[in-house]
Structure 1
Amino acid sequence: MVVSKLDIVVIGSLNMDMVVRTNRSPDAGETLIGQAFALSPGGKGANQAVAAARLGAEVSMIGRVGKDTFGSEMLEIIRNEGIHIEHISVSEHQATGVASIVIEEDGENRIIVVPGANIELTVEDIQALEAVISQAKIIVLQLEMDLAMSEQAIAIAHRKRIPVILNPAPARVLKDEMLAQVSYLTPNETEAGILSGMTVDSAETAEQAARILLQKGVQNVIVTLGSKGALIVNAEGAKAVPGFPVKAVDTVAAGDSFNGALAQQLVLGKTLEEAVSFANAVGALAVGKEGAIPSLPQLSEVEQFLNRKSL
């Protein structure tokens, strides 16, 4: 099924990832010898936009890069994925965002993001793009950019009755007024804990945290649980959606692939449970490859994966 133009608008970050592979992360004051280094295109916004586009969605992205080599590379990469880039602006003052990523032997990662040009996208910029937001069937955001800008974008979408997916990463405390305008909140366990003010370390506490977030006005909370899948909590109750355990090579962009897939499936009219199950499969495929954008699967790969699992 082909979806129409501007079905998904992603408002988010574009970063160049500097990836180091090592057996383990160093302790404070310790120097280790790593196994490999690579530059890889990423940024949570870019990852989510590419994830949705590779699954067949028509995607437009709103963001900002620097006037530098990384920025030029990011624009070319996003354009080559078929994503509309006319609303990705170029900063005259800030460098393109970068992320320092350490990937351990078991595939787990530790990330430090320097937002750079991403943080320059302002409330005024997003207000000027209200017409673009108004054309979307769903809006996708994260928290690697200016928080006031994100709040404004969500307010515009809410006013226009456009569903909003908010991936609350990097984790931070958010205003209740902002949360009350979110259709689908997709925290992992750590993020759910920060947003709810409680410790989340089990399926039971994940549900408790999600119910606190429902009380703040979120319509649907989807807590991602890694290989264990995801937990949907809304007014209808709580539903665990099983994951697809695989050997993790690199967990960078696993959550981003989930969010891009979730948006694409919801645009196609899938039920929330169907959309989350499909997104779990996309996330499982993403952790089986190295890199952020390079790890994101095509629709044909996901369909083949699901067909194998159903046999």
Structure 2
Amino acid sequence: MKKVVVVGSLNIDLTIKVDRMPKEGETIHGHDFLINTGGKGGNQAVASVKSCAETVLIASVGGDAFGNQIIESLKGYGISTDSIQLQKQDYTGSAMIICSDDDNRIILNPGANFSLDFDFVREKLDKIADKEDLFITQFENDFDTTLKVLEYAKTIGMKTILNPAPAKVIPDEFFKYIDILVLNQSECEVLTGIYPKTPEECESLGKAIRGKGTENVIITLGKVGSVTITPEEVIKMRAYKVDTVDSTAAGDSFIGALAAKLAFGDHLEEALEYATKVSAVTVTRKGAQIAIPTTEEVTEFFK
């Protein structure tokens, strides 16, 4: 079995539900306020470890109470905090999440996430990473640093997974360092100029993205499912119909679970099927990391 190594963000999520989004200059009442540990890096690592994969998280927190809260939470999930960089001069990253109509809008304050140092990450990777280990990263840390880390991970033989969120244009020369690119419709629009609405559109756009050098492209379509374009085949995966409570960590749980199954040696289609189930269970619960199910809970849910 291979390890899953996540380099990414850690945030405190401040979530509130509203019946509708406020208009400009308007104040409205919300409900179901929740303070929760999150951040894409943290979420994906928790999803991986809850799917029983050996998981290492390389990240950064500030020297405040939120940073301590996140550290203790990660330990509770069984994730080593030896590779967490403490930035005493910064605040811990935070996310303001507004949920309405089974969807969410998120405002990020990067804080210590933007202070994660390339040399620190490289040193940790040199100590813990083996060839063919799964590597995951996103764009909630400093953009240039993330691209350098992605390139380095690929150079030392890791299997790289990039989730380009928040959406940014990826320089063409970096696509060759991405083994699996996982993006949603909005992120696909930023990369291609087209917002895909159907599996057929995803297939066409995925092939175009693959032409830039990425081996595999996975485009998620929310309640519709996902489309995966590989060198050999196109895999169309239907989403499961569930009662959505909170979609905050849906994508992150999918990616972490996918990586975990690949680390166990599962075929890509099998890993996609399992990740789709994990994401489905996640949206039936409130919060981010606390909402992500274990392997046993997934099995029980789909009995």
TM-score normalized by the length of structure 1: 0.94
Aligned-partner residue type, residue 230 of structure 1? S
Counterpart CA distance in 1 for 2:114 and 2:142 is 5
1:219 maps to which residue?
215
Q: What aligned pairs does 1:234-253 form with structure 2 within 5 A after superposition? A: 234-253=230-249
2:227 maps to which residue?
231
Provide closer, same or farther for how the CA distance between residues 145 and 133 of structure 1 changes in structure 2, counting only shifts above 3 A. Answer: farther
Counterpart CA distance in 2 for 1:21 and 1:125 is 38
Q: CA deviation at 1:293?
A: 0.8
CA contact (8 A) 1:285 1:297 kept: yes
What 5-or-longer segments of structure 1 have no aligned partner? none
2:271 maps to which residue?
275
Counterpart CA distance in 2 for 1:133 and 1:252 is 30
Classify the secondary structure of the residue corresponding to 1:157.
helix
Q: Which among 179, 183, 187 is matched to residue 183 of structure 1?
A: 179
Counterpart CA distance in 2 for 1:78 and 1:193 is 33
Counterpart CA distance in 2 for 1:53 and 1:124 is 25
Q: CA deviation at 1:133?
A: 5.6
Aligned-partner residue type, residue 284 of structure 2? G
Q: What aligned pairs does 1:1-311 form with structure 2 within 5 A after superposition? A: 3=1, 7-104=3-100, 106-132=101-127, 134-135=129-130, 137-306=133-302, 308=303
What 5-or-longer segments of structure 2 have no aligned partner? none
Provide closer, same or farther for how the CA distance between residues 248 and 132 of structure 1 changes in structure 2, counting only shifts above 3 A. Answer: farther
Name the count of aligned residue pairs.
302
Q: CA deviation at 1:148?
A: 1.6
Q: CA deviation at 1:130?
A: 3.5
Counterpart CA distance in 2 for 1:66 and 1:73 is 11
CA contact (8 A) 1:102 1:111 kept: yes
Counterpart CA distance in 1 for 2:255 and 2:180 is 10
Q: Equivalent pairs: percent with the same residue?
A: 36
Counterpart CA distance in 2 for 1:253 and 1:296 is 8
TM-score normalized by the length of structure 2: 0.96
Classify the secondary structure of the residue corresponding to 1:18.
strand
Counterpart CA distance in 1 for 2:128 and 2:213 is 22
Q: CA deviation at 1:255?
A: 0.2
CA contact (8 A) 1:107 1:251 kept: yes
Q: Once the two structures are superposed, what CA deviation does each residue of 1:273-310 show, in whole Å capped at 9, x if it has no partner?
A: 1101110000000000000011000110111233x2xx
Aligned-partner residue type, residue 82 of structure 1? G
Supply the RMSD in Å over aligned alpha carbons: 1.3
Counterpart CA distance in 1 for 2:195 and 2:255 is 23
Counterpart CA distance in 1 for 2:64 and 2:277 is 36
Classify the secondary structure of the residue corresponding to 1:99.
strand
Provide runs of 4+ in structure 1 moved above 4 Å: none
CA contact (8 A) 1:123 1:148 kept: no
Q: CA deviation at 1:211?
A: 1.2
Counterpart CA distance in 1 for 2:26 and 2:196 is 30
CA contact (8 A) 1:227 1:284 kept: no
CA contact (8 A) 2:150 2:160 kept: yes
Classify the secondary structure of the residue corresponding to 1:199.
coil
CA contact (8 A) 1:133 1:156 kept: no
Provide closer, same or farther for how the CA distance between residues 175 and 133 of structure 1 changes in structure 2, counting only shifts above 3 A. Answer: farther
Counterpart CA distance in 1 for 2:181 and 2:25 is 37
Aligned-partner residue type, residue 285 of structure 1? V
